[in-house]
Amino acid sequence: MSFTTLKFLIFFAIVFWGYFLIPKRFQWAWLLVGSLVFYAFSAWWAIFYLLGTITVSYGCARWIQSLSLKQKESLVGVKDKNEKSKIKASFERKKKWVVVLALVLLVGLLVVVKYTNFILKNVESVFHLDSFALDIVMPVGLSFYIFQNIGYLIDVYRGQYEAEKNYFKFALYISYFPHVLQGPLDDYEAVSAELYGTHEFDYARVVSGAKRAAWGFFKKLVIANQISVVIDGVIKSGGTGHEGLSIMLSVVLYAFWIYADFSGYMDMAIGMSKMLGIPIAENFDSPYLSKNIAEYWRRWHITLGAWFRNYVFYSVLRSSWCTAIRKKFKKSKYLASTVPTVLALAIVWLLIGMWHGAAWSYIMHGIYHGGFIILGTILDPVYDKLHKKFPKFYGSKFMSAFRVVRTFTIVTIGYYFFATGAPSLSLSLLKGSCHIYLAGFVQFLSNNLRELIIIGISLIFLIYMDFYNAKGDKPPLGDVVARQKTWVRWTLYFVLLFAILFFRAYDVGDAFAYFRF
C-alpha cells in the first residue's frame, strides 16, 4: 500500500485516531496490528516472509542472550586466568555459530528471492541455453527488513544491548509501517523506547509531523511525478529518438527525480511517525551539496551507509586477515592503513551495488561510486599536501562551489548506469548524449513546457530548503513557519495544499523508486 493512495490515507486516519483513543498500554499492540495489516495489503502471502525473518532473528537473538547469561554464570568463582579464557572462548564460539546460522538463513533468503533469476540468466547467456528462469516474486521491502533484522542480531551478538524478550514487541520493531517498505533502517536501541512507550496527543507535535509529511507529498506528487512525465520515455528507451541535450537534461532531472521520490517518502514516513510520537532516523542531509563522493554517501541514504559501515566495513577491517595485512606492511604507515581500507571498501561497494538490485547496472553503479571513494583514499596524502600548500585557494568560496558542482556531476553521470537498469540501454543513453541537435532540443522543451515550468519552480523551493538545512545554524524551517502570524501560516499551508492538488502529475502510478529494492 503506497503512502500516496486514498486507501492509505484512510488506513492512517484509523491508525492515528485509534492510537490516541485506546488505553495507552495497548498503543504498541495497536501499531503492530496496523503494521501487519499495512504490510499484508502489498500482497497477503508476503506476510509469511516478514514473520519468517522476524521469527528467525528473534529466536537466534534470544539464544545468543541465553548463552551470554550461561557464560556469566559459568565464570562465577573461577579464579584461574587460563580457565576463564577457556570458558569465554567456548561460549564465544557457540554464539558465533548461532549468529552464522541466522545470517545464512536471512542472507540466504534474500539471495534466493532476489538473485536466483539473475544468476540463472547469466548462466543461460554464458552457455547459450534455453531460458529456465523461475517465477519468483520478491516481497516488497524484503531487502530493507532483512537488513534491519541482521543489524539487530549482530548488535545483540556484539553485546551492544540485550535481546528483546517479547516476540510481539520485536515484531513491531521490524514491521513498523513507516519504515518496513523502504527504510529508514532504524537502530533498535534508538527507536525501541518510543516505539513501545505510551504517547499523549500533542497538538504541536502532530502539526509539525503533518507539515513534514505534507512536504513529502509535495516532493513526490509534484516534483518526482512531473519529472517522471518528462523523462520516463527518454530513459526507458535508452534515449532512442532523442537528441543529446534532451538526454542530458533528462539524466540531470533523473537526479532530482530519485532524490524527490526517495527523500519525499522519508519525509512522509518521518512526519507520520512523529505524529504518533515516535521519532525515526533521518535518511538525507542535503546530499547534492556534498563536496566529495565519500561525503555524499554520508548524506544520501544515511542509514544504509551506516549499516554497511557498522556491520560490513568494520567487520572486514577487524578480521584476522586484515590485521595480518596491516602487520605485513608495518614498515610503511601509508600502506598499513591504505591497503586494508581499500580492500574493505571494494567489498562494501560491490555489495552496495548488488543490494540495489540483481542487475549488472547496479553492480556497475556500486563499482563506479566505490572507485571514486577508493581513489580518494589512495590520493589522500596528495590532497593533504595540496591543501596545506594552498590553504587560501582550497578554502575559497569558488573552490567549495566547484567541488559541489563536481560531485553532483559525478553522481549524475553515475545515473547513466543506474537509471536504465540495463547496461545496453545505458550505453545507448551515453552514445545518444553525444549527438546534439539544437532544433530537436527546442522541440523537446516545447513538448514538455508545462511540466518543465512546474518542475523548475518547485525545484527552486527544494534547493532553497536544502541550502537552508545544510547551513545547520538555523532552526528547522517548519518551526520558523510555526512562529509566523496566523494568516501567513495558513496562506503557506494553502499554497502547499493547492500546489499538491493542482500540479501533481497523474498516470505515473503510486509506486516509489526504492520499492523494487
DSSP 382-438: HHHHHHHH-HHHHHSHHHHHHHHHHHHHHHHHHHHHHHHSSHHHHHHHHHHHT---H
Q: Which three cell numbers stand for residue 377?
A: 583514499
Q: Residue 434: exposed, middle, or buried by beta-carbon count in 10 A (0-12, 13-18, 19+)? A: exposed
Least distance to another protein from the beta carbon of 90, Å? 17
Q: Residue count at the site for another protein (CB under 8 A)?
A: 22
Q: Which region, judged by CB under 8 A, interacts with another protein, from 118-126, 230-238, 263-271, 331-339? A: 331-339
Which of 7, 72, 165, 318: binder of another protein (CB under 8 A)? 318
Give, in degrees to the nearest 5, the angle at Cα 194 between 190 and 196.
115
Distance CA 363, CA 371 (A): 12
Q: Which of residues 336-375 bind another protein (CB under 8 A)?
A: 336-337, 340-341, 345
Distance CA 142, CA 106 (A): 10
**Residue 71 binds to another protein (criterion: CB under 8 A):** no
Which of 88, 94, 121, 158: binder of another protein (CB under 8 A)? 158
Q: Residue 460: exposed, middle, or buried by beta-carbon count in 10 A (0-12, 13-18, 19+)? A: exposed
Q: Which region, judged by CB under 8 A, interacts with another protein, from 8-16, 190-198, 241-249, 333-341? A: 333-341
Distance CA 244, CA 56 (A): 51
Give, in degrees to the nearest 5, the angle at Cα 307 between 306 and 308.
95
Q: Which of residues 367-426 bind another protein (CB under 8 A)?
A: 377, 384
Q: Which three cell numbers stand for residue 13?
A: 486516519
DSSP 447-512: HTHHHHHHHHHHHHHHHHHHHHHHH-SS--HHHHHHTS-HHHHHHHHHHHHHHHHHH---SS-S--
Q: Which is nearer to another protein, 342 or 481 (CB)?
A: 342
Helices (H), 197-243: 203-217, 225-236
Least distance to another protein from the beta carbon of 383, Å? 11
Q: Which region, judged by CB under 8 A, interacts with another protein, from 265-273, 316-324, 398-406, 477-485? A: 316-324
Q: Which region, judged by CB under 8 A, interacts with another protein, from 53-61, 332-340, 448-456, 483-491? A: 332-340
Least distance to another protein from the beta carbon of 337, Å? 4
Which of 317, 346, 470, 496: binder of another protein (CB under 8 A)? 317
Q: Which is nearer to another protein, 351 or 436 (CB)?
A: 351
Q: Which is nearer to another protein, 318 or 516 (CB)?
A: 318
Interface characters, 107-146, with another protein (x: CB under 8 A): ----------------------------------------
**Residue 84 binds to another protein (criterion: CB under 8 A):** no
Which of 117, 310, 443, 469: binder of another protein (CB under 8 A)? 310
Residue matched to cell numbers 544504509: 304
Q: Which region, judged by CB under 8 A, interacts with another protein, from 19-27, 335-343, 449-457, 463-471? A: 335-343
Distance CA 310, CA 187 (A): 11
Least distance to another protein from the beta carbon of 295, Å? 9
Q: Which is nearer to another protein, 93 or 318 (CB)?
A: 318
**Residue 81 binds to another protein (criterion: CB under 8 A):** no
Least distance to another protein from the beta carbon of 160, Å? 5
Q: Which region, judged by CB under 8 A, interacts with another protein, from 166-174, 246-254, 277-285, 309-317? A: 309-317
CB-based contact 215:274 (threshold 8 Å): no
Kindly give, in sequence order, each residue whose CB lies less than 8 Å from that of residue 76, ignoring residues fewer than 6 positions away. none
Q: How far is CA 207 from the centre of its chain?
A: 26
Distance CA 383, CA 297 (A): 19
Which of 49, 63, 144, 313: binder of another protein (CB under 8 A)? 313
Residue matched to cell numbers 501567513: 488
Q: Which region, judged by CB under 8 A, interacts with another protein, from 28-36, 165-173, 306-314, 431-439? A: 306-314
Alpha carbon of 418 to those of 126, 256, 438: distances in Å? 23, 14, 27
Q: Which region, judged by CB under 8 A, interacts with another protein, from 117-125, 128-136, 155-163, 197-205? A: 155-163
Least distance to another protein from the beta carbon of 386, Å? 14
CB-based contact 407:292 (threshold 8 Å): yes
Least distance to another protein from the beta carbon of 322, Å? 8
Least distance to another protein from the beta carbon of 362, Å? 23
Q: Which amino acid, residue 158?
A: R
**Residue 292 binds to another protein (criterion: CB under 8 A):** no
* Exposure class string for 282-313: b at 16+ Cβ within 10 A, else e: ebbbbbbbbebbbbbbebbbbbbbbbbebbbb
Q: Which is nearer to another protein, 236 or 309 (CB)?
A: 309
Residue matched to cell numbers 502532530: 206
Alpha carbon of 255 to those of 183, 231, 250, 327, 406: distances in Å? 20, 11, 9, 43, 14
Distance CA 41, CA 46 (A): 9
Q: Which stretches of the chain bind another protein, using CB under 8 A? A: 155, 158-160, 294, 309-310, 313-315, 317-318, 323, 326, 333, 336-337, 340-341, 345, 377, 384
